[in-house]
Amino acid sequence: MLEARNLTVSIGGKTVCCDLNLAVRPGECWGVLGQNGAGKSTLLRTLAGLHQPDAGEVVFRSSIDEAGSRNATGVAIHRIDRRELARQLGVLLQSEEGEFWGSVREYVLLGRFPHRRGWFGHSAEDEAVADQALATLGLAALAQRPLNQLSGGERQRAAIAQLLAQQPRCLLLDEPLQHLDLRHQAQAMGLFAARADSRQAVFMVLHDLLWAQRCCDHLLLLFPDGRALAGEAETLLTRENLEALYQCALREFSVEGERHFVPATHGV
């Protein structure tokens, strides 16, 4: 569905990745791991078409072409009509520019913009989809409250609800668990895992190794020196890889069959 071909990305003179080849397929859930400043957000923005790569290209395979046959080769993401791309690809960024002064419901309804058929208001379907997304994230009671009066965690849930209302086939998520308490972390990760189970593609930046282990079947590790390692989570999630990734000693232990990794010492 989403493919990076010989992708080289940098920002501020730092190389994020070099000659990266990566294919995110329907039904897969990818986690991106790396230190602060490794370029995880920049890579995600590049895959979304929001940051220009130094070399290579990002290709998206849309569902059906005009002739009704499946597109086998895909199209470079910068060549796809923005509104059509928004029907297929949803992006959750860490922060948004500017301030939204409307209600929570109006904010979630923005996710329906790529699907709107007219210029005057939203359809009954748009409103139903938005209301369902609000209910799913536990925000129905806050629907009429101004968005700027919500807590950080409530805002994050509203952003996820907006993404659900958009109904994309591929989700790119930059730290989707930020500001969320444990209960809502579990709820959000359950939602993303369910999207993968329904043959959507999920690609998300994470910091919590436990959630990466529980919910991701594939991982992309971005090392400080610009190297990248991609593959199945079960293979890549080792103490050796993680110590090289985070450049600190780790302890590995098991609780009820789950592996856990924690720093071996306190401090930096």
Q: Is the confidence at residue 121, as pLDDT, over 80?
A: no
* Tens-digit pLDDT profile for residues 145-169: 999 999 999 999 999 999 999 999 9
Report, as an integer, the average pLDDT of 194-219.
94
Q: Which of 115-119, 199-203, 225-229 has the highest mean pLDDT?
A: 199-203
Report, as an integer, the average pLDDT of 163-192.
96
Report, as an integer, the average pLDDT of 215-227.
93
Using only C-alpha atoms, the chain has a radius of gyration, in whole angstroms, of: 19
At residue 268, the pLDDT reads 47
Residue 26: pLDDT band with limits 50, 70, 90: very high
DSSP-assigned letters across all residues of the chain: -EEEEEEEEEETTEEEEEEEEEEE-TT-EEEEEE-TTSSHHHHHHHHTTSS--SEEEEEE--S--TTSS--SS-EEGGGS-HHHHHHHEEEE-S--SS---SBHHHHHHGGGGGG--SSSS--HHHHHHHHHHHHHTT-GGGTTSBGGGS-HHHHHHHHHHHHHHH--SEEEEESTTTT--HHHHHHHHHHHHHHHHTT-EEEEE---HHHHHHH-SEEEEE-TTS-EEEEEHHHH--HHHHHHHHTS-EEEEEETTEEEEEESSS--
Instruction: Please name each of the domains of the chain with its CATH number.
Output: 2-100+168-237 (3.40.50.300)
Residue with tokens 């809502």: 184
At residue 61, the pLDDT reads 84
Report, as an integer, the average pLDDT of 32-45.
94
Q: Is the confidence at residue 123, as pLDDT, over 90?
A: no
> Nearest-CA neighbor of 209 among 251, 262, 248, 247?
262
Q: Which of 193-197, 204-208, 260-264 has the lowest mean pLDDT?
A: 260-264
CA max distance for the chain = 60
* Tens-digit pLDDT profile for residues 223-239: 988 899 999 999 999 99
Report, as an integer, the average pLDDT of 79-83.
88
Report, as an integer, the average pLDDT of 174-186.
96
- When the pLDDT of each residue in the chain is averaged and rounded to a whole number, the result is 90
**pLDDT cut 70: percent of the chain above it:** 93
Q: Is the confidence at residue 110, as pLDDT, over 70?
A: yes
Q: Is the confidence at residue 34, as pLDDT, over 90?
A: yes
